[in-house]
Amino acid sequence: MCGIAGWYRRRGRPVEEAVIARQCDRIIHRGPDDAGYFTDGDFGFGMRRLSIIDLAGGHQPIFSADGRHAIVFNGEIYNHLDLRRELEAAGYAFHTDHSDTETALASFLHWGDEAWLKLEGMYAVAIWDRAERQLTLARDPLGIKPLYLTEQHDGLAFGSEIRALQVLPNHRFDLDERGVHDFFMFGHVQRPRSFYRQVRSLEPGHVLHIGPEGEAQVHEFWRPQFRLRHDLSEAQWIEETRERVQATVQSHMLADVTVGAFLSGGVDSSAIAAAMTRVASAPVKAFTVGFPGTSIDETDSARRIAEYLGAEHIVLSLKPERAGDLLPAVQAAFDEPCAATAAVPIWHLSGLAAQHVKVVLCGEGSDEIFAGYKRQRSALRAARWRPLLRALGPVASAVERLPGGSADSNYRWQKIRQYRHSALLENNYQRFFQGTQISSPEVRERLYREDFYSRQDSDERFRRLEQEYFGFPGARSLSPLEQFMLADITVHMPGSLLNRLDRGSMAHSLEARVPFLSHHFVDWTLTMPLDMKLRGNLGKYALRKAIEPWLPANALDKRKLGFQLPFKEWFRGEFSDFAREAWHDSGAAASGYLRPQAVEQLFAEHRAGRADHGRILYAIAMFSCWWQQRADMRQSNAA
């Protein structure tokens, strides 16, 4: 696992090694064990290494036998030993003992762009061809590893994080209003945009080639496709699920260091931990974060499962009075504001795990591929209610405007209004965007300054987003559940879920692996009949049945919680005080995007129990932390 960065300046303009070193120094947390740089005229790249495989021989950049090609690589290839044997049989002479980075380079030299689908793992890779002066960049199919690009002054620069780009001379990084709107609507910026107009991400499952002249050429080499099969019985699907979960977990345990697991007590992390214990030679170290005294604390459930599995269970308790230290530290791990619900617990849990291991396996991705989200089931129900609610029209609108009462009843009415709005949308792509919002259109209309709102939001918001991401032929022919799952896999997962996991873990030099997101495993799950995923109101049906024999009785019966924050409780206490102070003291109130009076009203309504604004208040707090850190960085650079 590493962080990579580079700059193809082109037009014969030299790239100094010192510039590449500064890029890599900005991401030293991603790889504190080693560093390597290479420059070749108007090109240069480098890396920071977290040593996991071939500890002694994996120094990068790695060169081909003839010296023509060089590679820097961030990630892990779990089938690299199999590929290595195949390449050796074809005549390739390896120079390292068992470096997966050299295997990735050899694979590209042998198969070209067909290599990317042969690599089973997570990766962001840069390969330089010294003879043709061509740069190749590739990103893994699911977007597990990040890769950011900026094209300025006829050159192209890249990095594992945006901060690696911001040290380049004469480069601009202007805030993108669309990215700001994305953040206050969804809690993160939607791919491939960033918070800066000049920066974008290389999309998951894409490869880029750029030579000394002309524009970069980008091609897609993988996308999720539903190819449902009906040739197996229910028992056979369950057995195959059990076998494939065990196999993908075992392959992801490949390392020359100790591997642990995140354990929340839910289906996904329990499946990972249980599969690990079945093949581990020593007790698995399992790490849990708890929220004492709140409705989402899962410590007891996780402890019960860990004891049953014989795991070494290590628990971290988070309390809201630490907010003044907690939020700024977490936000500092991100180049952009991040209001992902799990960012805080993942950051802290990663810090705990890094004291014991270098690698953890995580359950991310299971909800997307096995239909485990409540929002997926809610969207299906909402679609069935659409004809009736359209017929009721004004009557339903009048009911929505009835006055509230207690805090609990206010929250229920808020949910009812959201549900009705979801039901009236045209399809499940639009319901996906509605269901992953952290703020309603009504709140944003109150919150945004008038000119900002008029430029970025509209009554056609969900239809426009559908066209932007799912306007391709055949998209609407998918079933309602397939539509929502496709949106989760291709939009929410790389934009939010995997981004928070990468940043939270790498901030502590911890490698986080996601066995459910092997692209071969994902391809297989997309052949599974939908009723093996969603059975009535029960999501992840086949996965649950597959792992039941591995866990204590009734371990999977409880309500899904996962890694999140208790917003409703925390933002009615001292946590709210810190968030308000951050808003005022950071200068974010003068950013020009939000109305300060409206922000104050949201805080007051939430504290009084008139509405649950926890998610958007958390976003405002994180935006404020980021705004302060951005100002501090600019002041430091000026000095």
**CATH number of the domain bearing residue 70:** 3.60.20.10
What whole-number distance in Å separates Cα of residue 532 and Cα of residue 542? 5
What are the residue numbers of the active site?
2
**Weakest mean pLDDT among 127-136, 340-349, 419-428, 581-590:** 419-428
DSSP code at position 284:
P
Cα 84 → chain centroid = 30
- Amino acid 49: pLDDT: 81
Q: What is the pLDDT of residues 569-587, one digit of tens each?
A: 666 666 778 888 889 899 9
**Weakest mean pLDDT among 6-10, 328-332, 406-410, 540-544:** 406-410
Q: What is the pLDDT of residues 196-220, one digit of tens each?
A: 999 999 999 999 999 999 999 999 9
3-state SS string over 558-581? CCCCCCCCCHHHHCCCHHHHHHHH
- Amino acid 634: pLDDT: 75
Q: Does 537 score more than 50 pLDDT?
A: yes
Number of domains present in the structure of the chain: 1
Instruction: Let me know if 626 is exposed, middle or buried by CB neighbors in 10 A (0-12, 13-18, 19+).
Output: buried
Q: Which amino acid is at 455?
A: R
Q: What is the pLDDT of residues 60-88, one digit of tens each?
A: 899 999 999 999 999 999 999 999 999 99
Helix residue ranges per DSSP H, 355-435: 366-370, 374-392, 394-400, 407-423, 428-435
Do the domain assignments include residue 325?
A: no
35's tokens: 């560093």
What whole-number distance in Å separates Cα of residue 206 and Cα of residue 222? 7
- Quote the percentage of the chain above a pLDDT of 70: 88
- Amino acid 606: pLDDT: 85
- Amino acid 639: pLDDT: 55
DSSP labels, 107-174: HHHHHGGGHHHH--EEEEEEEEETTTTEEEEEE-TT--S--EEEEETTEEEEESSGGGTTTSTT---P
CA distances from 429 to 369, 469, 620 (A): 16, 9, 27
CB 80 within 8 A of CB 103: yes
Strand order in the sheet with 148-152: 34-40, 43-49, 2-8, 155-159, 148-152, 199-201
Strand order in the sheet with 359-361: 312-317, 285-290, 259-262, 359-361, 511-513
- Amino acid 395: pLDDT: 47
CB 270 within 8 A of CB 551: yes
Q: Does 407 score more than 60 pLDDT?
A: no
- Amino acid 566: pLDDT: 66
Instruction: Let me know if 554 is exposed, middle or buried by CB neighbors in 10 A (0-12, 13-18, 19+).
Output: exposed
DSSP code at position 448:
B
| Residue of higher predicted confidence among 294 and 34 | 34
- Amino acid 389: pLDDT: 58
Residue range 494-507: average pLDDT? 95
Do the domain assignments include residue 332?
A: no
Do the domain assignments include residue 267?
A: no
Length of the chain: 639
Do the domain assignments include residue 573?
A: no
Q: Which domain holds residue 53?
A: 2-220
- Amino acid 530: pLDDT: 97
119's tokens: 């690599």
Do the domain assignments include residue 564?
A: no
- Amino acid 54: pLDDT: 61
User: Residue 156: beta bridge partners?
Assistant: 8, 151
Q: Which long-range contacts (CB under 8 A, 24 or more apart) does 405-408 make?
A: 406/609, 407/609, 407/610
Terminal CA-CA length for the chain? 33
CB 485 within 8 A of CB 371: yes
DSSP code at position 64:
-
What whole-number distance in Å separates Cα of residue 390 and Cα of residue 413? 19
Do the domain assignments include residue 262?
A: no
Residue range 419-443: average pLDDT? 86
**Weakest mean pLDDT among 164-168, 312-316, 317-321, 432-436:** 317-321
- Amino acid 426: pLDDT: 83
pTM for this prediction? 0.93
Q: Does 467 score more than 90 pLDDT?
A: yes
Residue range 411-435: average pLDDT? 75
- For 337, the 3-state DSSP assignment is coil
Do the domain assignments include residue 356?
A: no
631's tokens: 């100002």
| Residue of higher predicted confidence among 380 and 79 | 79
* 416 confidence band (pLDDT: 50, 70, 90): low
* 413 confidence band (pLDDT: 50, 70, 90): low
**Weakest mean pLDDT among 128-132, 308-312, 601-605:** 601-605
